C-alpha cells in the first residue's frame, strides 16, 4: 500500500496552476491541483475540506478502519450518557461541537 504525503496540508492559489493543496514545510510542493478559478467558492470549500480531513486524521494510521470504530465508540458513550444523566441536565448543556448530535455509524 502506498502512503500519502504526511500532513499538515494547506491550500493556496497559484497563478499558474489555480487552487492547490500543498505541504507547506516540504520540498515536495504541490500535492494536488483542484482547479483554475481563484474565486470559485465550491472549489475553495472542497480544498479546505480535503485539507481539514487529512490534518484531522494525521495520527490515525488506517482511517478507513478506525473512523467507523470511533463513531461506534461515540454512539456507545452517548447511549451511556443518556442512560445515566437526567434528560433535563442534557437540555442545559451547551454543545458547540455537536458531540451529542446522534449519528448512525
| Cα–Cα distance for residue pair 40/38, rounded to 1 Å | 6
pTM value surpassing 0.85: no
Is 2 a member of any domain? Answer: no
Domain count, the chain: 2
Q: Please check whether residues 67 and 90 belong to one and the same domain.
A: yes
Is 87 a member of any domain? Answer: yes
Is 21 a member of any domain? Answer: yes
CB 69 within 8 A of CB 28: no
- The grid cell for 42 is 465550491
Is 95 a member of any domain? Answer: yes
Q: The domain containing residue 97 runs over which residues?
A: 60-105
Q: What contacts 17, CB < 8 A, 6 or more positions away? A: 30, 33, 36
**Residue 31 dihedral angles phi and psi, to the nearest 5°:** -90, -40
Q: Please check whether residues 36 and 72 belong to one and the same domain.
A: no
Band (98; pLDDT cuts 50, 70, 90)? low
Q: Please check whether residues 78 and 91 belong to one and the same domain.
A: yes
- pLDDT higher at 88 or 45: 45
List, for residues 73-90, the tens digit of each pLDDT value.
Answer: 988 988 888 888 776 666
Amino acid at each position: 500500500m502506498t502512503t500519502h504525503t504526511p500532513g499538515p496540508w494547506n491550500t493556496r492559489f497559484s497563478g499558474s496552476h489555480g487552487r492547490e493543496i500543498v505541504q507547506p514545510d516540504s520540498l515536495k510542493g504541490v500535492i494536488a491541483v483542484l482547479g483554475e478559478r481563484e474565486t470559485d467558492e465550491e472549489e475553495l470549500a472542497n480544498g479546505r475540506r480535503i485539507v481539514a480531513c487529512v490534518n484531522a486524521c494525521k495520527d490515525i494510521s488506517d482511517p478507513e478502519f478506525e473512523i467507523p470504530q470511533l463513531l461506534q465508540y461515540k454512539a456507545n458513550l452517548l447511549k451511556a450518557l443518556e442512560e445515566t444523566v437526567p434528560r433535563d441536565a442534557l437540555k442545559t448543556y451547551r454543545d458547540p461541537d455537536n458531540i451529542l448530535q446522534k449519528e448512525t455509524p
